[in-house]
C-alpha cells in the first residue's frame, strides 16, 4: 500500500485506511483475549501513525504542528499507561491532561482563547452533566484529578469549536469534530469504568478516540498562518 505523503499535498484516504486498520487490530486485541498481545502493539502504533501524519506536514504553521505533535506523543504515552495490566489510571489521566493542554495551545495559535462564549457554555454544561452522573461513583482520591481533566478536555473542545466557527475550513471543522469525538470517547470510558459497564465498550471508546486523534492530526495539513 502506498501511503507516501508529500510535503505540499494533503494525505490520501489510504493513510486514513492504514490508521483504521491498525486501530481495528487494537480493538480486536482488546475484545478477544487470545489476541491480547496484538492490542499491546497496535494501540500505540495507531496513535503514532497519526503523529507521523502530522509530522509529515512540513509546510504547516510551525507552532500548531509542534503542539499537535506534542499532544499525539503524550497521547501515545497515555495509551501505554492505560493498556498495561497494572492500575495506572492516574498516570494515563495525567498524560492525556497534558495532551489536551497541548491541543488547546495549538488551537489558540489560530484564534485567541474564548472570543466566543457559547461553545464554552455548551461544553461546560455537557461536562457538568457527565461529572454529576459519575460523581457518587468516583473514588474520593480521583475526584479532584477528574475535575481538572474534564475542565481541560472541555476547554480544548470548546476552543476547537471556536476556531471552526471563526475561521471555517475543512481542517478546522475536522479539528472541532475531533474535539467533540474526544469528549464522547472519554465520557464512554468513564461511564464504563465508574458507572455502568457498556457492551463492547472497547469498540466504542477506541473507535471514537482514534477518530478524534485522526481528525486533530489531519487538521495540521491546512493549519497555515
Tell me the domain boundaries of the chain: 61-222
Residue 86, pLDDT score:
87
Cα–Cα distance, 199 to 218 (Å, whole number): 30
- Range from 1-5, 8-12, 57-61, 106-110 carrying the lowest mean pLDDT: 1-5
pLDDT band with cut points at 50, 70 and 90 for residue 223: low
72 closest CA partner among 57, 84, 89, 90:
57
**Mean pLDDT to the nearest integer, 38-46:** 95
Q: Evaluate whether 59 touches 65 at the Cβ level (below 8 Å).
A: no
**Mean pLDDT to the nearest integer, 204-214:** 96
pTM of the model: 0.91
> Cα dihedral sign for 102, 107, 111, 116?
negative
DSSP letter at 191 equals I
Cα–Cα distance, 26 to 39 (Å, whole number): 4
pLDDT band with cut points at 50, 70 and 90 for residue 85: confident
Cα–Cα distance, 57 to 34 (Å, whole number): 38
Amino acid at each position: 500500500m502506498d501511503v507516501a505523503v508529500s510535503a505540499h499535498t494533503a494525505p490520501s484516504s489510504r493513510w486514513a485506511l492504514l490508521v483504521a486498520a491498525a486501530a481495528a487490530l487494537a480493538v480486536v486485541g482488546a475484545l478477544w483475549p487470545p489476541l491480547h498481545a496484538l492490542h499491546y502493539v497496535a494501540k500505540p502504533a495507531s496513535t503514532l501513525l497519526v503523529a507521523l501524519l502530522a509530522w509529515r506536514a512540513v509546510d504547516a504553521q510551525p507552532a500548531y504542528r509542534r503542539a499537535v505533535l506534542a499532544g499525539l506523543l503524550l497521547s501515545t504515552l497515555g495509551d501505554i499507561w492505560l493498556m498495561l495490566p497494572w492500575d495506572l489510571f492516574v498516570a494515563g489521566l495525567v498524560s492525556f491532561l497534558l495532551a489536551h493542554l497541548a491541543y488547546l495551545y495549538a488551537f489558540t495559535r489560530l484564534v485567541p482563547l474564548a472570543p466566543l462564549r457559547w461553545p464554552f457554555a455548551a461544553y461546560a454544561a455537557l461536562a457538568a452533566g457527565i461529572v454529576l452522573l459519575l460523581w457518587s461513583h468516583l473514588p474520593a482520591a480521583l475526584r479532584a484529578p477528574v475535575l481538572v481533566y474534564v475542565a481541560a478536555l472541555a476547554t480544548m473542545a470548546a476552543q476547537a469549536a471556536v476556531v471552526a466557527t471563526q475561521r471555517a475550513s475543512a481542517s478546522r471543522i475536522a479539528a472541532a469534530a475531533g474535539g467533540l469525538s474526544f469528549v464522547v470517547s472519554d465520557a464512554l470510558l468513564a461511564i464504563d469504568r465508574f458507572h455502568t459497564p457498556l457492551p463492547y465498550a472497547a469498540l466504542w471508546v477506541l473507535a471514537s478516540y482514534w477518530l478524534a486523534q485522526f481528525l486533530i492530526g489531519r487538521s495540521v495539513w491546512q493549519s497555515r498562518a
